[in-house]
Amino acid sequence: MPTPVFHTIGLIGKFGDPNVADTLKQIAAHLLRRRLRVLLDDSSARLMPDSGLEIAGRDRIGEQCDLAIVMGGDGTMLNAARSLVDYEVPILGVNLGRLGFLADVSPSELPQSLDAVLDGQFREARRSLLHAQVMHGDRITGEADALNDVVVHKCEVARMIEVDTFLDGRFLNTYRADGLIISTPTGSTAYALAGGGPIIHPGLEAVVLVPICPHTLTHRPIVVKADSVIEVVLNVANLTQTQVTCDGQISLALEPGDHVVIRKKDRKARLLHPLNHDYFKLLRAKLSWGLNPDASPFA
C-alpha cells in the first residue's frame, strides 16, 4: 500500500439531511479500514448517534485534520470552505446534491476515487474568497466571507434600491436595480450567471459585478481585478429594506448610508479533485451544452 498522504480525516455531511448518513457510514468505515483517524463533524453526528467516531467541532477539524471530506451539494461545500479556509485544510467534495460544480466525486465512484486521493493522486485548486464588511460610519456592524458571492439586495417585492459603487476609491456607477452581485470566478456559474454575468475560469484572478434587473438596460456586468477594493454605498434616501447576503447563507443587516466594503481574502480555499477532473467537461455536463435537440423532451 502506498505511503498515506493524509492521516486525520474530517467528515462533514449536509446539515440535517438523513439521506447523508449511509454515505457517511460507508466512507467512515473505509477510512478506518485504512487505519486513518476520523473526526466526525458535530452537526453530522446527530445523523449518526451511535457511530463510535470522535466528534469534533469545525474549529477542531480545522486544527487537527489534514483533509476534510464533505458530503452534500455545493451549499455544504460553501459552508465547509468558509469555516476551514483559515486553517488551510484541503477539501474533497462528494456530490449528493444536484448541480455539483464544487463537489465532483460521485457516490458511485467510491471507494476507488477516494483511495486515489488518499494515495496522493489528485489535483489541487486554490479558490479565492471575498471578505465583506458592513460599515456604519466608522463602526463595523457585520462581516463575513464568501466563496461564491456577496450580494447587496432588496428584501421587498417589486421595489428597487439605489447604490453608489466605488473601485479603489474611484466612483464607478450608481445602480438602480433589485441588487448587485459581487462574485468570485467560483461563483460566476451561480447567481451571477443567472443574472447575465460571464463564466470566469476559476484559475483567473478576477471579480465580476452583476446588477440584478437594473432599471437602466445599458448597465452591464463588469469584470475587475481580484485585488480591487469594492465599496457599495446604500443611498441615504433608500426606503426599501435591504441586506447583504454571503453565499446565500449568511445575511448582514444594511441601513441607508451604510457602506459595504468587499476585498479579496488573504487565504484561499483548497479544493481537491480526482486526476480526471475537467472543468470544461463539467460545464458541458451541468449546463447541457451541445445537447442533441432530438434528445430534448420538448422536441
Q: Which residues are identified as catalytic?
A: 74
State the Cα–Cα distance between residues 131 and 145, nearest whole angstrom: 4
Question: Do the bridges between strand 54-56 and strand 37-41 make them parallel or antiparallel, or are there none, so unpaired?
Answer: parallel
Cα dist from 28 to 1, 3, 77, whole Å: 19, 19, 18
The Cβ of residue 205 has, within 10 Å, a number of other Cβ atoms equal to 12
Contacts of 57 (CB under 8 A, 6+ apart): 41, 42
Instruction: Determine the length of the chain.
Output: 299
Contacts of 299 (CB under 8 A, 6+ apart): 293
